[in-house]
A and B are shown apart, each in its own frame.
Chain A
Amino acid sequence: MAMTREQLARRVAQEFQDGYYINLGIGIPTLAANYIPEGVEVMLQSENGLLGMGPFPLEHEVDPDLINAGKQTVTMARGASIFSSADSFAMIRGGHVDLTVLGAFEVDCQGNIASYMIPGKLIKGMGGAMDLVAGADNIIVTMTHASKHGESKLLSECTLPLTGKGCIKRVLTDLALLDIEDGQFILRERAPGVSVEEIVKLTAGPLVVPDHVPEMHDLD
C-alpha cells in the first residue's frame, strides 16, 4: 500500500535530529512538524523571515502580521526570532539550515529536481525552492513515486524545467526511500506492504536494489 500523507510526514519526522534548524516546504513537509519525535528539539525556519515557527494560532491569537511561507497564519515558538527576507536567505544560502524538506514534480538520477513549472500548463514560480536546493546540503524531496497514470517521477533525466542541478541526494516517495549516488537511485527502504517489484516497476531511472531492503516502521 502506498503511504498516506500522514505516514509520509511521520517518516520525514524520523529524520529530525535534536538541535536541527529545519526548513519545511508547503504540503507534506509542513505536516511533518506534527510528528517531531519525543525528546528531539528542532527549530523551524520559515523563509519569509521567522526562525522558531510555532503551531497554528487559536482563533483569538490570529495575527495578520505573522504568517509562514505558505501564507498561513502561525505563532512563534519560545526562542523565536524575526528577520528580513535578505537575512533569511543568507541563512539558507550560507548553509546554516541543517535540513530542508520540499516537494517536487520530478527528480532524476543525476540529482536534478524540477518543481516549479509545467510549460504551457502550470506556472507557480520557484518561490524560495531554488535558493533552498542550492544552499542546503541535507535535502529530502517528498513526492508521489508515480503520477495518477502510473508514469514514474524518478527519471533518468528530468523533462521539466529544473529547480536545481545535481543537488538532491535523498527522495522519499509514497512507496520508498531512495538515495541518489553516482547517477543511480539506491533503494534504501520500502513503504509498509510495498514490494520491491512494485518499486522497480515504477522507477524509470536506473535503480540499485540492495540484497536487503527493510520496511519502514513506526508510521502509525
Chain B
Amino acid sequence: MSGFDKVVESYEEALAGLEDNMTVIAGGFGLCGIPENLIAQIRRQGTRGLTIVSNNCGTDEYGLGVLLVDKQIRKMVASYVGENALFEAQMMSGELEVELTPQGTLAEKMRAGGAGIPAFYTATGYGTPVGEGKEVREFNGRHYILEESIQGDFSIAKAWKADRYGNLVFRKTARNFNPMAVTAGRIAVVEVEEIVEVGALDPDEIHLPGIYVNRLIQGTFAKNIEQRTVRKA
C-alpha cells in the first residue's frame, strides 16, 4: 500500500487490528451483497465479543450467521432476524444481546455516523418499544424520537468493482447497506469482484469515492441465494 493505493493482498492483512469486543458494521441485505470472505476471515481468526451492526444476521449456514456457531457475537444491532434459528435461540436464551432497530433508522444511523452527525430525529418508532427512553420532540404537530448515529471500529462491505484508489461501483440490489456501512467504519475494509487500474472508471459512474475506503481486496464470491424464485417461461 502506498499513496492512495488501498489494495491489500490477503484477508489476514485486510482485517489486521480487529480485536475482541470491537464494533463491526457490515453491509448486505439477507445474503445479497455480503462481504462473505471477510466474514469467513473473522470466523478463522476467532475474534470474540463482537458487536455486529447489520440489517440481518445471515442464515444458519451463510453470512454473519456463521459467527453465531462459535458464539463470536456478543451483541447484534439488526432490523430483521426472521429466518435464522440459531439467532433466535441465542437471543431467547440471553446469550446474544439484540438491539432491534428499524431498517430505515439503521441505514440512517450508519449514514449519519459516517457523515459526522451524532443524532437525528425520526418519526419511525415513536410510541413503540423502539422509542422507549428516547427523547421525543414535536415538529409541526408530529412526534419524533431522537436516534443516535453509529460508528464502528471496523466496517466490512462488498462492492462489485473498484479501482486501486478504492473508488467503488456497486451492482444492482447488492448495493443496499454497503455504501453507508463503508462510511461509518473507522477502518473500512471493502472486498470486490474486480479491481481495475486507476482511471479505468468514469468518475461519473463511481457510487462511493475512495476517501471512505481504507483497505481493498479482490475476492471470489459464492453469492448464495436465500429464496430462489422463478417463473415459468
Which residues of A pack against B, CB within 8 Å?
46-50, 55-59, 62-68, 70-74, 76, 82-86, 88-89, 92-93, 112, 116-117, 123-131, 134-135, 161-166
Further contacts, 9 of them, CB under 8 A, given A66-B172, A67-B225: A47-B104, A56-B231, A65-B32, A65-B160, A76-B172, A84-B107, A89-B108, A125-B82, A127-B80
Indicate with 1 or 0, residue by residue over B171-207, a CB within 8 angstroms of chain A CB atoms. 1111111111000000000000000000000000000
Which residues on B sit within 8 Å (CB–CB) of A74? Answer: 229
Which residues on A sit within 8 Å (CB–CB) of B122? Answer: 93, 134
Q: Is the Cβ of A166 less than 8 Å from the Cβ of B127?
A: yes
Which residues on B sit within 8 Å (CB–CB) of A50? Answer: 172-173
Q: Is B128 part of the contact surface with A, judged by Cβ < 8 Å?
A: yes
User: Complex: how many Å from CA A117 to CA B100?
Assistant: 11
- 28 pairs, A vs B, C-beta closer than 8 Å: A56-B229, A62-B230, A64-B223, A65-B33, A65-B223, A66-B172, A66-B173, A72-B229, A73-B229, A85-B107, A85-B176, A86-B107, A86-B108, A86-B111, A89-B103, A89-B107, A125-B81, A126-B130, A127-B79, A128-B104, A130-B102, A130-B103, A130-B104, A130-B125, A130-B128, A131-B104, A131-B105, A162-B129
The chain B residue with its CB closest to the CB of A26 is B82
Q: Is the Cβ of B180 less than 8 Å from the Cβ of A86?
A: yes
Which residues on B sit within 8 Å (CB–CB) of A65? Answer: 32-33, 160, 171-174, 223
Which residues on B sit within 8 Å (CB–CB) of A135? Answer: 104, 123-124
The chain A residue with its CB closest to the CB of B232 is A58
Contact of B230 among A58, A84, A89 (CB under 8 A): A58
User: Complex: how many Å from CA A58 to CA B231?
Assistant: 5
Contact of B123 among A49, A93, A112, A161 (CB under 8 A): A93
The chain B residue with its CB closest to the CB of A92 is B104
Contact of A84 among B80, B160, B179, B226 (CB under 8 A): B179
Which residues on A sit within 8 Å (CB–CB) of B106? Answer: 85
Which residues of B pack against A, CB within 8 Å?
29-33, 55, 78-82, 88, 91-92, 100, 102-108, 110-111, 122-130, 160, 171-180, 223-233
Q: Is the Cβ of B228 less than 8 Å from the Cβ of A62?
A: yes
Which residues on B sit within 8 Å (CB–CB) of A47? Answer: 103-104
Q: Is the Cβ of A82 less than 8 Å from the Cβ of B172?
A: yes
Q: Is the Cβ of A82 less than 8 Å from the Cβ of B230?
A: no
Task: Give A216 Cβ to nearest chain B Cβ, in Å.
Answer: 28
Q: Is the Cβ of B111 less than 8 Å from the Cβ of A124?
A: no
Task: Give B39 Cβ to nearest chain A Cβ, in Å.
Answer: 16
Which residues on A sit within 8 Å (CB–CB) of B227? Answer: 67, 70-73
User: Most B CB atoms within 10 A — which of A64, A130, A166?
Assistant: A130
Q: Is the Cβ of A85 less than 8 Å from the Cβ of B124?
A: no
Task: Give A121 Cβ to nearest chain B Cβ, in Å.
Answer: 10
Which residues on A sit within 8 Å (CB–CB) of B124? Answer: 93, 130-131, 134-135
Contact of A67 among B110, B173, B178 (CB under 8 A): B173
User: Complex: how many Å from CA A161 to CA B79?
Assistant: 15
Task: Give B143 Cβ to nearest chain A Cβ, in Å.
Answer: 8
User: Complex: how many Å from CA A165 to CA B145?
Assistant: 13
Which residues on B sit within 8 Å (CB–CB) of A63? Answer: 172
Q: Is the Cβ of B91 less than 8 Å from the Cβ of A165?
A: no
Task: Give B194 Cβ to nearest chain A Cβ, in Å.
Answer: 14
User: Complex: how many Å from CA A71 to CA B174?
Assistant: 11
Task: Give B205 Cβ to nearest chain A Cβ, in Å.
Answer: 13
Which residues on A sit within 8 Å (CB–CB) of B33? Answer: 65
Q: Is the Cβ of A125 less than 8 Å from the Cβ of B228?
A: no
Q: Is the Cβ of A48 less than 8 Å from the Cβ of B29?
A: yes
Which residues on B sit within 8 Å (CB–CB) of A123? Answer: 81, 88, 91-92, 100
User: Complex: how many Å from CA A48 to CA B80?
Assistant: 12
User: Complex: how many Å from CA A66 to CA B79?
Assistant: 20
The chain A residue with its CB closest to the CB of B78 is A125
The chain B residue with its CB closest to the CB of A61 is B230
